[in-house]
Amino acid sequence: MNILKKIALSTAIVAAFATVSAPAFAAEEHGDKNAAVKAAADLTVTKLNEAVSIAESNGDKAAFIAAIGEVRQAQKEFRYEQTERLRQKLNDKLRAARDAAEKGTTQDAAAATKEASTLLTEMMGIYNAAHK
């Protein structure tokens, strides 16, 4: 009889832990990943807008290259499966903009930055549509 009581008590304790622990931690982690991706997306948009404004104003070459570098770092964290190919194209445009700025061709750098902005807008549209 004691063995049956111990088995029933152990089973009840395990069941209590399982029902409380699993949903709480699973939902929390999923929410944190979505929040991190959203924050990275917002940072990417902000930094790319800064780079576009520097390119349009024919600003400092070093500031433009630094801004493009920040965009490239931020977009690495903006990982969403449905926009992965667009993210790769965005990275290619950002690299082209940086290379053009290093060569001194500001018109090419500005054009590549604007194309990158278009790609990022498309990416954000896909991401936001899936996360309403």
Measured from the Cβ of residue 79, the count of other Cβ atoms closer than 10 Å reads 14
pLDDT band at 96 (very low <50, low <70, confident <90, very high): very high
Q: Which two tokens stand for residue 66?
A: 């630094």
Q: Answer whether residue 21 is part of any domain.
A: no
Q: What is the CATH number of the domain that holds 88?
A: 1.20.120.660
Cα angle 2, 3, 7 (rounded to 5 degrees) comes to: 120
Q: Answer whether residue 14 is part of any domain.
A: no
**Structural domain harbouring 53:** 35-130
Q: Answer whether residue 106 is part of any domain.
A: yes
Tens digits of per-residue pLDDT, 19-39? 766 555 555 555 567 788 888
Q: Answer whether residue 125 is part of any domain.
A: yes
Q: Answer whether residue 97 is part of any domain.
A: yes
